[in-house]
Amino acid sequence: MAVATAAAADRCGKDLDELMGSCEGYLSFPAEPRVAPSTACCGVVRKVDVPCLCTMVTPEVVEQYISMDKAGYVAGYCRRPFVPASYGGSYHIPGPMA
């Protein structure tokens, strides 16, 4: 079980590295302007393990490195939108009120 967990964490880390390598300019602060991501960035967005990456979204990440507003824009632009009213780690994805 520990081997499977370590392998999953390794894949998640690789996904994060690939995502930041291809999309960092589209995800980083400031929150504006939002710029349409490249084809390469969208290719990565479409294949990464989003639930795994969401476990890595800590308040420090959101406050210092990634604009979640931009991340939502990029995900939607790349046709892999976040699930409304869900959570990406510590970040609440806006959505319909219950």
Q: Looking at the 3D structure of the chain, how many domains does it have?
A: 1
Which residues constitute the domain of residue 54? 11-92
Is 5 among the domain residues? no
Is 86 among the domain residues? yes
What count of other Cβ atoms lies within 10 Å of the Cβ of residue 37?
Answer: 22
Contact at 8 Å (CB) between 64 and 28? no
pLDDT digits (tens, 9 = 90+) for 18-71: 999 999 999 999 888 999 999 999 999 999 998 888 888 888 877 788 888 899
What is the pTM (predicted TM-score) of this model? 0.82
Position 41 scores a pLDDT of: 98
Distance, CA of 86 to CA of 20 (rounded, Å): 22
Distance, CA of 61 to CA of 58 (rounded, Å): 5
Is 23 among the domain residues? yes
Is 31 among the domain residues? yes
Please say if the pLDDT value at position 2 is more than 80: no
Is 29 among the domain residues? yes
Residue 23: give its domain's CATH number: 1.10.110.10
